[in-house]
Structure formats: C-alpha cells, structure tokens
Chains A and B, each alone.
Chain A
C-alpha cells in the first residue's frame, strides 16, 4: 500500500479536493462547481444551517483536514453564522491549500461558479504533487456501519466484519464501530469486553443514554424494512449489529470527530448529549459514515441485508451484502457477497479474510463499487455534545 503523506505525518488513501458549502444558500453554487468539474476527486460536502453549531464546526474542520483530503474550496453566501475564518485558518494550518469564495462578494451565482470551477481545477493540479509514500495496515483507520439490516445481517455479513476487525486489530490497525441506539439490549455483553472497569461502566451508560433518547423521540433505530426482512425488535437488531465489532478488547469511546488516541477498537457514541433537541441522531446512515470519517476513517465497511447502495464523500465505502437474494438482485452495488455464508458455501472466517484483502486493495487505489457508481453521499445536521475534544477521550 501507498498513501498520500500529509504534513502532520498522517497518510491518506485518496487525494481529493472538497468543495464545501457553509450554508444551504450556497449549496447550489457549490454543487454546480462540483458537477461542472466532473472529476471523481472533486467532491461536495457542506453544512446547511445558518445558525452556528459547535459540533458542525468541529466536524467540518476534521473533514476538511482528513488525510484523504488534499485541498479545500469553501463556498459561503456571506451572511451565514458559520465561522468560515476559523475553518479556513485550521485548513491552512494543516498545510493544505484553501480558498474561500463568498457569493455576495463575487458577483453572484454565475461568477462564483465560474471562479470556483477554475479554482478547484487549479487546486487539484496543485495537490497532485503530494508525496506518495509506503503505508502499512497499522496506519489504517477502518469504520463499520450496518444499514438496511435484515434477519441475515447478524449471521453473515456482520460477524464476517467482526472477524475482519479482529484481524485488523491483531495487525495494530484502528477500528471504529458505532450507533449506540443499535446496541440497546447488548450493553452488558459488550461491557465485558472493555479494557477497564471504568470503560465498562461508560459503555453501559452511553447505551442507556441512547435508549432514553430514542424512547423520548418515540422510535427506536428500527426501519420498516428491518421488519420486512425478518427482524422483530430493537434488541434483536442490536445483537446482529453488535457482531460487527468482533471479539477484541474494546479500548475506548469516542464522539464524532474525535480521533482515537491509540490503536485498537473504539465505540463511537453518535447519540447527542442532553435532551433531544435537533431530532434523531441517525436520520440516515450517511451521517454516521461521515462521523466516522471525521474521526479519521479511511474506509467504511457497510453491511446490508435489504440492500443499501450508498457510498460517501471523502472515504471509500465497501459494501458487504448479507442476504444471498439481495446480492443476486444488486450485485453491481455490492463489493462482497456474505450471502455465501447463508447458502453454506463459505465460512464467516473466509468472508472476513475476503473483506480484509479488499480493504488492502481499496486502500491501494482500487475503486469500491460505490465509487465506481459515483456515490459520494454526504450529510451533516445539527447536534450537540457535552464535550468535543481530547478531554472526553477514554
């Protein structure tokens, strides 16, 4: 494997320019810059809100300085609350080229788009000189998520990802699993894998927090398709989802945008602190993918039974299909067929090894299915967390 060496010593597996809108009013201009650029390495991200939000600022800062990102074009309307100066300064300090286009100061939509297309192209050219150096598995940060789960997810794709995670951790990589709302019911079992008693207590409390949050909102993290695919309850879905974490010791809890402070296995607590304020924590899988990317994930392993087709901006998504019937139906979108476990053709260990091998290939530059299809989903909404920063690292 080889990676793009950034000035802080971290290595990326992609070298992209992100075009970031800083309020919904700038979304169209930013999107048009990306569309007109028509280059897989010029990608759209952004935050729609006008009012400032610490979580969103922290997330955008982390995303714009992610190892897979080489340069950033910020697109602002001009009057929104987003602290574009802070963001621009952080990107600049990271050694990356950054440029801010304020639509109100650039003659409006058309002129800003024209200027943006030129600047994005120039920036892509500029970052092509980024040094490429050897990279090893222990430098990788890998996240996992499940979406469109069904009754097969918990017995094929999820345990296969768990086996892959165990192997990655043996090789000193960093792994992140998440969605505490989908761990409701297995918190005690999970706590037994904590590296310390203190962490065990924290694991249990963050799942209890999720349960309270979802109960107050009136819905669990449970979609109609889950039930159509044979899952009946939140705790049943949880046991399946939990299998993605494998069997290794759990080394800590992080919140979105916090980077694990050491190698090993980390739970990401994606459920906001305090009373529900801005809605559900995971209105779509893509926000959770983005949250793991903000915490450094180079690749996300996405398991699905019903058949999710999404990818993500910034970091590749590998899709692992749990259900053999879904795989036949959606094979163009699926990187790995874990349905072969359901059909008795392969073992969980074999599919775990297949996933591991594919991670190495994708990290080496091979495109995942969602990349080939042009999927670059991105979602960032308002949230609040009590503390974001090194203080709450465990």
Chain B
C-alpha cells in the first residue's frame, strides 16, 4: 500500500519522488518493482529506484539532473551527499556540494 507514497515521473528515471513521508525499512512497490527504504524520507525528496554507479547520470522527468558522486543502492536517499550538479555547485547554509 506504500506504492503511492512515491511517484515515478518518467519511465526512464532512476529516482522516484516522495509524496508522503515514508520510513526506514518500509517496502515500496512502484512500476511493478519493489524496493526497501534504507532511511526515512520526507516529501519532495528522491530515492534511487535502481542501483546507480558513481559517475552515472541521475534521471528525473526523463532528463539528467546531475550525476552520482558515489555508488548508490536501490532504496537509498539521493541528495547532496551522493550526487552533484553538472552545471553549478549547490550551496546550503552550512556547506557547498558539487564544486
């Protein structure tokens, strides 16, 4: 029943987007596939829906939105800690990612 907590925006995407808070260990069914969350996830955040290798492009909306800076497991949160922009570094209040 957790399937609709996430949305796959494009069939080619390797990430799905959280529409409702989900939790560590939760099983997600999406596009006839299953994955288990290895962290809590809040609304708007991305989770890998398949294994992604370091250097591989992250695809959302069917287009690249950056690339992986580390190997990413299926079910893992995809964010500043394991991907970067291919254009301009992203800043938070405390750090810079993707320089």
Contacts and interface: CB of A to CB of B under 8 A. Distances in A.
Interface string B30-61: 00000000000011111000000000001011
B43 A151 contact: yes
B47 to A, nearest CB: 10
Q: Which of A186, A224, A323 has the most CB of B within 10 A?
A: A224
A182 to B, nearest CB: 11
A233 B85 contact: yes
Contacts of B58: 232
Contacts of A185: 63-65, 86-87
Interface string A193-233: 00000000000000000010011000110101011111111
B80 A232 contact: yes
B19 A229 contact: no
A215 B87 CA distance: 9
Contact of B65 (A227, A229, A236, A323): A236
Contacts of B83: 232-233
Given A151-B44, A227-B79, A323-B44, A233 B84 contact: yes
B43 A232 contact: no
Contacts of A291: none
A222 B91 contact: yes
A342 interface: yes
A155 B17 CA distance: 9
A343 B86 contact: no
B60 A239 contact: yes
B88 A222 contact: yes
Given A185-B87, A186-B63, A152 B80 contact: no
A56 interface: no
Contact of A230 (B44, B66, B85): B44
Nearest to B9: A155
Contacts of B43: 150-152, 230, 323-325, 342
A232 B44 contact: no
Given A189-B63, A227-B79, A230-B18, A220 B45 contact: no
A234 interface: yes
A343 B63 contact: no
A222 B94 CA distance: 14
Contacts of B9: 155
B46 A232 contact: yes
Contacts of B91: 219-220, 222, 224
Given A219-B91, A220-B88, A323-B43, A232 B66 contact: yes
Given A232-B65, A239-B63, A224 B85 contact: no
A22 to B, nearest CB: 35
A230 B83 CA distance: 12
A143 interface: no
A268 interface: no
A305 interface: yes
B90 A233 contact: yes
A226 B79 CA distance: 11
Most buried by B among A152, A214, A230: A230
A234 B90 contact: yes
B86 A235 contact: yes
Given A219-B88, A232-B79, A342-B20, 11 more contacts: A151-B46, A152-B19, A152-B44, A186-B63, A220-B85, A222-B90, A224-B92, A227-B80, A232-B78, A232-B80, A239-B60
Interface of A: 150-152, 154-155, 184-186, 189, 211, 214-215, 219-220, 222, 224, 226-236, 239, 305, 323-325, 342-344
Interface pairs A-B: 9 shortest CB-CB: A151-B44, A230-B44, A233-B85, A220-B88, A236-B65, A230-B45, A233-B66, A150-B44, A224-B93
Interface of B: 4, 7, 9, 17-20, 42-46, 58, 60-61, 63-66, 78-80, 83-93, 97-98
28 contacts: A151-B45, A154-B61, A155-B17, A185-B64, A185-B65, A185-B86, A186-B63, A211-B87, A214-B88, A219-B88, A220-B87, A220-B88, A226-B90, A229-B44, A230-B17, A230-B42, A230-B43, A232-B65, A232-B66, A232-B80, A232-B85, A232-B97, A233-B65, A233-B90, A234-B87, A234-B88, A239-B60, A342-B43
